[in-house]
Structure 1
Amino acid sequence: MIENVEKRWAIHHKIISEDTKYKVITMYAVIILLTGFFFNNPLEILKGMGTVLTSSSILLTDYMEIANIGTAFFNSGLMMLGSIFLARKTRAHMNGYLIAAVSIVGGFAMFGKNPYNVVSIVLGVYLYSRIQKERFGKFILIALFGTALGPLVSQITFGFGLPLWAGVLVGNIAGILTGIILPPLATSFVKFHQGFNLYNVGFTAGIIGTVFMAVFRSFGLETPTVYQVSQGNNLALASILGVYFGSFIVTGYLMNEHSFKHLRELMRQPGRLVSDFVTTEGFGVSLVNMGLLGFAGMGYVFLVKGELSGPTIGGIFTMIGFGAFGKHLRNALPVMLGVFLATQLKLWDVNSTGAILAALFGTTLAPISGQFGWKAGVLAGFLHMSMVMNVGYLHGGINLYNNGLSGGIVAATLVPILDAFREEDSFE
């Protein structure tokens, strides 16, 4: 039966080799890295990387602001290439989940992840695989997503006033410990939200970050409130990003046999974990979907008269990545609408960075609108806006995927209620 399904899939989809998929995603990572030199010269980027590597990197530390735009793009591309290298070495398939992982690493490399603060976490996951006598490739995705706790390593190293040698030692021990406990916790916590929160490891990282912060506070250690966000670069950044997003659509169109076929089928999927669009609908049409989400994210920023900065670009890059793994316009836009409506009735300005990030990253709840209909998606976004603005204190900004923690709580609360009270297709 499985062979017959695979044959039917092959008849209706153009087969794209693993090597080709790796080359395409690598090409985009290289483009992001090289974009840095469009804004700054090599010496400025080198100095900027020194600033980035030695920053505490807790939310919100925009690398465009503390260093420069070129450094942020260079760091993003570098981190993506490192992720692709690890995936290739572990023989991981370039499916939707891996594309989402590589993209989220690149997105948060704009404001929080850097080569220093992620290595020990990945090493911890590797050690877990050795302890379990399993192949590291089985856990590579958790390792990549788990770099959400990079600021934990940086804050201990540079932010608590420890001697440098002690900060490096304790920070990296904490990173290794985090990597070791991530896989079993991530596997367990997916049951909590039933797959309706796409950032499952973000929820897991939020719980781990909350535990670490509780321990820190018991010793009188507190993370400062950080809000370092760049402004005034919309025109230049929009020009670059517009070409970038457009190239996804064009490349996908060409690789999808010069057509948009299967895009409609893709947008009919609810998106609940695990929804790998690359596997079910094809690599080409997934690229098209990714480009459309990129434009949707950037369009929202301009609609509310916001700023393109490291964090907001990180949010858009994350939307793009999950365009291969659970998100599409049909299930993401209702959640964004819910966040927008919340800003009209609540305390937060619609064009503030926090509110914009809630709309972009809040699409982690897209499966709710995909499963229960657009009205449920609006409700999820509305609730998410309140939740995400309050959970950051729990982990003190050392978990970059704050929306993943919030999304997990909203999904776990809302989904059972929707299940209990809906009639079949009542939200459609």
Structure 2
Amino acid sequence: MLLLSAFLFNSPAEIIEGMISLTKAPSILVTDYMAVGNVGAAIFNSSLLMVIATLIAKKSKVDFNGPIIAAIFTIGGFALFGKNTYNVWPILLGVLIHAKIKGEKFSKFIIVAYFGTALGPLISQITFGYELPLAKAIFFANLAGLIVGLILPALGAHFVKFHQGFNLYNIGFTAGIVGTFFMALLRSLGFDNPRTLYLAEGYNRVLGIYLTIIFISMIILGYIFNNKSFSGYTSLVKRSGRAVTDFVVLDGFGLTLVNMGLVGFITMGYILAVGGQLNGPIIGGIYTVVGFGAFGKHSKNIIPIMIGVYLGALLNVWDVNAIGPLLAALFGTTLAPVAGEYGWKFGIVAGFMHMAMVMNVGGLHGGMNLYNNGFSGGIVAAILIPVIDAFMRKEESA
């Protein structure tokens, strides 16, 4: 449905032209494919990658549970501003080689592979951003992508201990560390990344209607799949969301779809309420939250984080409707388990801390890691959770 809907916005010729433009873009943060190409091309690129990811998962005989749904929607979201049909393949292939070396099935590492495409801009930037001879650029870019894919599974398994499952974007944190290493290496060789900000504006009405149709369809289908009932949703929102909380397994696919549609409306509503623009990065953020509506996020645990981010922007030097704070409000919900586990007050604190952190870590990886908020969220969780535990822990009786 999403793939075909691209032709509502642009003609086939325009979409092909736009696809060529966005595929050749360096794609570092923040590169809106709706601005670099056009709206139809961005939606087509996003939907095509979602279809490919779905088919690969089906071919690999993966259970379609919460994590895989979250991963596919995250790929689709970031394919509106950074992932494309050129830059994801080396990373996927690297993870496949990792699986072969380990003697394991690719399906065991498919979640890491999908989220690992966060470093797609590393491939695009080396290929198109440094004015290297094309053959040399393609070789070194794809070599870097293969290395990323080879090492991500081991690093991801290790770093989850760092934030104890309270940062849902674990591979985002891992990709931030890897991206920082590659950026340091590139800077040592005399290469650096420019500050990038390409954004589309003026599409709130049409894209708002477009998203509303998608979210309503999710809620209606979920209602039907849940025996024409919303029964059980109150139990779903009582879950903390801490990794691993798979709503598909725990609460059923129907209620999961309902939850996905609801968090979609909440996040879109926030953007419009504060005067933000619906464009590639923002819809990418909304898609990601919707995807994680199957894997840890729900209407109760994301709102405190968004309030905290809003207060963080309001009380500091950032405009609440600028692209950075808007993305922080959406992707900062990676810390939703903090609110789910410890209550809304600590959720607000986490969101406030995240707002300050995320605006300062992007320079470390030069925009190479699309999951910048996952990187920041890991740091915030690693700092905040031990402190909360220390003061909330009941003293043992003598």
TM-score, normalised to structure 1, is: 0.92
Distance in 2 between residues matched to 1:342 and 1:141, nearest whole Å: 32
Pairs within 5 Å for 1:13-412: 31-412=1-382
Unaligned runs of at least 5 residues, structure 2: none
Shift of 1:343: 1.2
Shift of 1:344: 1.2
**Paired residue type of 1:337:** I
Distance in 1 between residues matched to 2:130 and 2:361, nearest whole Å: 22
Cα deviation code 1:178-215 (max 9, x no counterpart): 00000000000000000000000000000000000000
**Paired residue type of 2:345:** K
Distance in 2 between residues matched to 1:342 and 1:146, nearest whole Å: 29
User: SS of the counterpart of 1:61?
Assistant: coil
Distance in 1 between residues matched to 2:148 and 2:219, nearest whole Å: 38
TM-score, normalised to structure 2, is: 0.98
Shift of 1:423: 5.3
Cα deviation code 1:305-325 (max 9, x no counterpart): 110010000000000000000
The number of residue pairs the alignment matches comes to 394
Unaligned runs of at least 5 residues, structure 1: 1-30
Partner of 1:422: 392
User: SS of the counterpart of 2:368?
Assistant: coil
Cα deviation code 1:362-384 (max 9, x no counterpart): 00000000000000000000000
Distance in 2 between residues matched to 1:84 and 1:315, nearest whole Å: 20
Cα deviation code 1:382-424 (max 9, x no counterpart): 0000000000000000100000000000000000000111257
Distance in 2 between residues matched to 1:377 and 1:240, nearest whole Å: 30
User: SS of the counterpart of 1:33?
Assistant: helix
**Paired residue type of 1:279:** V
Distance in 2 between residues matched to 1:418 and 1:281, nearest whole Å: 29
Distance in 2 between residues matched to 1:32 and 1:166, nearest whole Å: 36
Distance in 1 between residues matched to 2:220 and 2:389, nearest whole Å: 39
Cα deviation code 1:63-107 (max 9, x no counterpart): 000110000100010000010011011100000000000000000
Cα deviation code 1:239-276 (max 9, x no counterpart): 11101011100000000000011111110000000000
User: SS of the counterpart of 1:331?
Assistant: helix
Shift of 1:220: 1.2
Cα deviation code 1:17-55 (max 9, x no counterpart): xxxxxxxxxxxxxx2111210100000000001001111
Shift of 1:327: 0.2
**Paired residue type of 2:218:** F
